[in-house]
Chain A
C-alpha cells in the first residue's frame, strides 16, 4: 500500500459527460501528479501540483483540468468525454518538487474510466 488513495476505483459514463476523479496523497507529500495510462500509450504525464499550485503540465487536453486543495487532496476533472478518454488514471505523490524528495513518486491504485 503506497499510502496514496484514489476514488472511485471504477467509473462508467457516457460520451459528452463530465467526471471528477479524486486523489489523496501520502501523508506529508506536497506534490501530486496525474497520469493517464492507455493500453498502447504507456504512462502519459498530465499535470503536477505542488502545495496547491500548478508546477508542470504534460499532455493534458483542454477538456481536462485539475486542482489541488488546501488539504492537499487533488481532483482531476474530465469533461466532454470521448470514447478515447477510456483509460486508467493514476495519481502519484512525492514529498516535494526539487531534490531527492521529488525523485520517487508513489502511485495510487488508479481509477479505471470507461466511456461508452
Chain B
C-alpha cells in the first residue's frame, strides 16, 4: 500500500522552465513533508521540507506548496537548470508506534534539457 503517491514518474523540462512534481498522501497523522534530491551514483539528500501549518515554503528556486485539505503537496523548481537533473523523492513523516517513520514516494526522474 503506497501511502504517498508521487507523480509524474519522469519529467523533461527545458532550461529556464518550471518543473512541478506532485505528491498526495492519505494519513492525516503526517506532520512533516520533506523532499529529497538524488543525483546519479549518490545517496538522497534533503532539499527542502515543510510542516502542515504553512501553505508554502521557498528556498531559492525551490518552493513547496502544501494543501492540507486536499492532502497534497508539490515541489516547484523555478528557472530549472541542467544541474537540477536528478531524481526527486517526496516523503511524509509521522510518529508511528512511538517511532518517527518516513514514508517515501516512488520518485520522479527530472531531466532538464540545455
Instruction: Tell me, yes or no, whether A binds B.
Output: yes
List the B residue with the shortest CB-CB distance to A96.
B100
Complex interface residues of chain B between 83 and 113 (CB less than 8 A to chain A): 89, 93, 95, 97-102, 104-107
Cβ–Cβ < 8 Å partners of B45 in chain A: 2, 106-107
CB-based contact B34/A104 at 8 Å: yes
CB-based contact B89/A109 at 8 Å: no
Interface size on A, residues (CB 8 A): 25
Give A32 to B67 CA distance when docked, in angstroms.
31
Give A90 to B102 CA distance when docked, in angstroms.
15
Q: Does B46 contact A (CB under 8 A)?
A: yes
Residues of B within 8 A of A (CB): 32, 34, 41-46, 49, 89, 93, 95, 97-102, 104-107
CB-based contact B43/A103 at 8 Å: no
Cβ–Cβ < 8 Å partners of B99 in chain A: 48, 55-56, 97-98, 102
Residues of A within 8 A of B (CB): 2, 4, 41-43, 45, 48, 55-56, 90, 92, 94, 96-99, 102-110
Nearest 5 CB-CB pairings of A with B? A107-B43, A102-B100, A42-B106, A43-B104, A42-B107
Contact of A108 with B43 at beta-carbon distance under 8 Å, contacts A42-B89, A42-B106, A103-B34 already known = yes
